[in-house]
Amino acid sequence: MNTKTILRNTLWFALENIISFGASLIASFLIARTLGPTRMGYVVYVLWVVNICSSLGGIGIPATTRKYMAEFLGADQRAAARHVYRLTLAAQLGMATLVTAGALFWVLRDVQPEYRSASVLLVLSIWPSMVNSISAFANVASEDLSANLPASAASTVVFFVITLLTVLLHWGVMGVAFSMLTMRLVDFIVRFVPTFLRIHRWQADSSQVPPNLWKRMHSFALQSLAGMLLTLVVWDRSEVLLLKYFSSDIRQIAFYSNAFSLAERLLVFPTVFASATGASMFAQFGRDRSRLPALTAASARYLGLTSIPLHIIATSLAGAALLTFFGHEYAGAVTVAMAAPMLCIAKAFLTPVQTMFETLERQSLFISATLVASLVDVAVAVLLIPHYGALGAAIGSGVAQMLCVGALWTMAIRKYQVRLPWVFFGRVVAISVFASLVGYLCVVHTRPLVGFVLGGMSSVLTFLLLAGLLRVFEQEDLVRFRVLVESCPAALAAPVNLTYGWLSRRVAPVQTEELL
């Protein structure tokens, strides 16, 4: 059953992300306060370059691992899946070595002397991150996201502890760089070893490997790589580079990065569900590909239920949150912080449609949409950054993301008959706007911390109350909620069942085909 598999993986992936989310959020606040916006601007710039290089480990070869391992495992062909893992791992080892060497050359030649040692440590973290992505995607392909949890938990704890020591002992940028390198090394060791040994034990059988597999994988990887290069412009904050060269104030990089970091933290919730669904979509291709459009539409519905309220409500709370957690040194980023949640909301809806095109081996559609969006992103950002700094960069990024995601969903609807619940989306938007206004009234009349807490609580309660009274939830939602209710710990059983019973009385008793 796709429902139970997706929800089980959602719970595991949620736990993994919540641990990482909480620790990295606190660490980012501490680092930003310790370094200040000027030094933070330089650190963010080097980190951006390092993360761009590491992104090669998240798309291209690893995406090929996920796609074809999931397809063969869905068809119960472990020998072929084993072959895919070993082949892509060897290719990634070579790619990681080349990328790390190239980044070291850049650091030793171009980075300012006072940041050079820290930058070398950051660059060295590229290699374990890239190689580690093969094992991480192999676990996703196996629809066993629990296998990724130990490494994420261990590395997050290490990162958090070293960051605290950096703040307490005033290690500065060297401490930040060392924490990043150590985190990625721990993640690599804890994740790679058990995954490699587990897959290595699968029986090798060359007769299961299709004769045209290498050709398919090669074509898929090249298309994914091309898509990745365009993705760097639209989705990976290429505006940091534009700010570096088109703004005379280095603080604008920190303003933009921290404001968007707050907004993109909201994506952890829809990403959890989308990633768990994506694992099943690749496997579904090996079982029954005719159900992919319905699975994609159902994913969009639940992303709407989580991301739309979060981003609209966050718009009214973001300014108070920024001042509370980063401090008044970052007051220049308040406008950017308030605009960012709505500017990056489109990104929440990217994964399902992108995964569907990858599953169908139609990445060319994603590449075309991203190419147009990347040109728009650069044009808008270059036009606005000289006058508006971080806000101009944010607008360029947001416009490009909305254009790209809108084009992708339009193609999915027309080419593959994906049917989206537009009436449902409209209700959620209306309720979310009202809840956001309630939160804003709390923010404007109180201090930042008090406004953030009271505004957050009142807006969330308002949304839940209106969603129940206006019968936003449908019968098919209860089928899936029931799985979650049955998985709750005993300590939460009473309030969860009470809430579930209240919601059950506020939906139309219509029998709906299970989409997940």
Ordered by start, the domain boundaries in the chain are 35-210
Question: What's the confidence (pLDDT) of residue 75?
Answer: 80
364: number of Cβ within 10 Å = 12
In 3-state terms, the chain is what percent helix, strand and coil (to 5)? 85, 0, 15
Q: What DSSP line would sit under 380-394, residue for residue?
A: HHHHHHHHHTHHHHH
Element at 100 (helix H, strand E): helix 78-110
Give the model's pLDDT for residue 515: 40
Q: Which pLDDT belongs to residue 40?
A: 81
pLDDT tens, the chain, 516 aa long = 444 555 555 555 555 555 555 556 666 767 777 777 877 887 788 877 787 777 655 557 888 888 888 888 878 889 999 999 999 999 899 989 988 998 899 888 888 888 889 889 999 999 998 999 899 888 887 766 677 778 888 888 898 899 889 888 888 889 888 998 999 999 999 999 999 999 989 988 888 788 888 888 877 777 766 666 666 666 667 788 889 888 888 889 989 988 887 887 787 766 665 555 555 555 555 555 677 788 788 888 888 888 899 999 999 999 999 998 888 888 889 999 999 999 989 988 988 888 888 777 777 788 888 888 888 988 999 999 999 999 999 999 999 999 999 999 999 999 888 888 898 899 999 999 999 999 999 998 889 999 999 999 999 889 988 887 887 777 666 665 665 556 555 555 666 667 667 666 666 544 434 444
Q: Are 108 and 163 in contact (CB under 8 A)?
A: no
**253, 41 Cβ separation under 8 angstroms:** yes
Cα-to-chain-centroid distance, residue 34: 26
pTM: predicted TM-score of the whole model, two decimal places:
0.68
Helix/strand number for the chain, H first, E second: 20, 0
What 8-state DSSP symbol labels residue 210?
A: -
Q: Name the CA dihedral angle for 225, 230, 232, 233, rounded to a multiple of 10 degrees.
A: 170
Burial 32-70 (b: 16+ CB within 10 A, else e): bebbebebbbbbbbbbbbbbbbbbbbbbbbbbbbbbbbb
DSSP helix/strand/coil, 327: coil
What CA–CA distance (Å, rounded) separates 157 from 339?
A: 32
| Long-range pairs, 285-288, Cβ under 8 A, ≥24 | 285/70, 285/71, 285/74, 285/359, 285/360, 286/70, 286/71, 286/72, 286/73, 286/74, 286/75, 287/74, 287/75
- Residue for token digits 């969903």? 409
Helix axes 334-343, 251-265, angle to 10 degrees: 40
Q: Residue 112 carries which DSSP code? A: -
Token look-up 């291709």 returns 285
Are 109 and 139 spatial neighbours (Cβ–Cβ below 8 Å)? no
| 357 within 8 A of 363, measured Cβ to Cβ | yes
Looking at residue 510, its pLDDT comes to 45
Whole-angstrom distance, CA of residue 137 vs CA of residue 183: 19
Reported for 288-295, long-range contacts at CB under 8 A and 24+ positions apart, including other chains, are 289/359, 289/360, 292/356, 292/359, 292/360, 292/416, 293/356, 293/412, 293/416, 293/417, 293/418, 293/419, 294/515, 295/2, 295/515, 295/516
From residue 510, give the alpha-carbon distance in Å to each of 223, 406, 426, 476. Answer: 43, 31, 20, 8
Spatial separation of the C-alpha atoms in residues 45 and 337, rounded to whole Å: 19
| Residue whose C-alpha is closest to residue 74's, from 281, 283, 277, 276 | 283
Question: What secondary structure letter does DSSP report for 203?
Answer: P
